[in-house]
């Protein structure tokens, strides 16, 4: 059973070396990391190339330019399947996702396993109350509008079985950015896939600049409305 963690990067030079070490240490035996770098101007891609030359379990996919988190994951999933992954994990490079939960995520027998901030035992650390409240209410709004039975519909720490991604129509995915997380959950649910949430502690990034903007919320709301209105 081969597990690959797909890690998108854009200007993550302060985190990428430590993340590679931590993820390789916490993945199931034989696990690999696949960085998807969007031509980071800070040299993140060069650092990954250096690490790859010294460690065969590090893979990298270089993209020509920044085109959004959703597009990065779609490309990363395709590459991970080519590399023979049986389970594919989404993982942020900024240590907001708990690398110590990688084995637990991969061990659950479900089509999609979601590391959730909002089930019993889950929490956020380092967030101001306002940010937590916006995130929590946003998730409740998504559930109310779409019926999606997931407590953390925008969470990005997830594990997919190989066959789930092999049989998924990525051509139907509309999201370019962070709304990709909600859209994938919604489409998987509509396809009848078994989805399980496990509690995680989500932590504010260690270093570097956050990629979260007001436009992300607008993009997600637009996607929610589209699925609510058209059911697709």
Encode pLDDT of 133-153 as tens digits: 888 888 888 888 889 999 999
Does residue 220 surpass a pLDDT of 80? no
At 212 the pLDDT is 52
User: Hey, what are 130's tokens?
Assistant: 């306002």
Tell me the pTM.
Answer: 0.90
pLDDT range class, residue 231, cuts 50, 70, 90:
low
Number of domains the chain contains = 1
At 176 the pLDDT is 82
The residue segments making up the domain with residue 119 are 3-230
Contacts of 200 (CB under 8 A, 6+ apart): 97, 98, 101, 115, 116, 117, 122, 157
Encode pLDDT of 101-127 as tens digits: 999 999 999 999 999 999 999 999 988
Does residue 168 surpass a pLDDT of 90? yes
Burial class of residue 86 (count of CB atoms within 10 Å of its CB; 0-12, 13-18, 19+) = middle
Asked if 91 contacts 7 with a C-beta cutoff of 8 angstroms, the reply is: yes
Residues 192, 137: Cα–Cα separation, whole Å: 26
Q: List the CATH number of the domain containing 17.
A: 3.90.550.10
Encode pLDDT of 169-201 as tens digits: 998 888 888 889 999 999 999 999 999 999 999
Encode pLDDT of 37-70 as tens digits: 999 999 999 999 999 999 999 999 999 999 889 9
At 81 the pLDDT is 98
At 210 the pLDDT is 52
Does residue 218 surpass a pLDDT of 90? no
At 130 the pLDDT is 86
For residue 85, the SS3 value is: coil
Encode pLDDT of 4-22 as tens digits: 999 999 999 999 999 999 9
Residues 26, 160: Cα–Cα separation, whole Å: 17
Strands 158-161 and 112-116 come out as antiparallel
Determine what percent of the chain is predicted with pLDDT higher than 70.
Answer: 89
Lowest mean pLDDT among 34-43, 163-172, 203-212: 203-212
At 11 the pLDDT is 95
How far is C-alpha 47 from the chain's CA centre? 21
pLDDT range class, residue 208, cuts 50, 70, 90:
low
For residue 100, the SS3 value is: helix
At 175 the pLDDT is 83
Beta bridge partners of 197: 114
Residues 150, 153: Cα–Cα separation, whole Å: 5
At 228 the pLDDT is 64
Does residue 232 surpass a pLDDT of 70? no
Residues 70, 178: Cα–Cα separation, whole Å: 6
Rounded to an integer, the average pLDDT of 150-178 is 92
């Amino acid at each position: 059973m081969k597990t690959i963690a797909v890690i998108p990067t854009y200007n993550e030079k302060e985190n990428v070396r430590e993340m590679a070490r931590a993820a390789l240490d916490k993945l199931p035996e034989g696990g690999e990391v696949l960085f998807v770098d969007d031509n980071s101007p800070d040299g993140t891609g060069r650092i990954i190339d250096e690490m790859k030359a010294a460690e065969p379990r590090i893979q990298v996919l270089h993209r020509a330019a920044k085109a959004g988190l959703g597009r990065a994951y779609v490309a990363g999933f395709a590459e991970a399947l080519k590399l023979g992954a049986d389970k594919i994990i989404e993982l942020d490079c900024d240590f907001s996702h708990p690398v110590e939960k990688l084995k637990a995520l991969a061990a659950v027998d479900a089509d999609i396993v979601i590391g959730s901030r909002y089930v019993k035992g889950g929490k956020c650390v380092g967030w101001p109350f306002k940010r937590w409240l916006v995130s929590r209410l946003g998730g409740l709004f998504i559930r109310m509008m779409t019926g999606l039975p997931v407590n953390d519909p925008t969470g990005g720490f997830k594990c997919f079985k190989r066959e789930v991604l092999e049989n998924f129509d990525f051509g139907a995915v509309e999201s370019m950015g962070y709304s990709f997380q909600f859209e994938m959950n919604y489409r998987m649910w509509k396809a009848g896939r078994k989805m399980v949430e496990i509690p995680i502690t989500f932590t504010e990034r260690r270093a570097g600049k956050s990629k979260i903007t007001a436009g992300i919320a607008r993009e997600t709301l637009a996607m929610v409305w589209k699925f609510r209105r058209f059911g697709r």
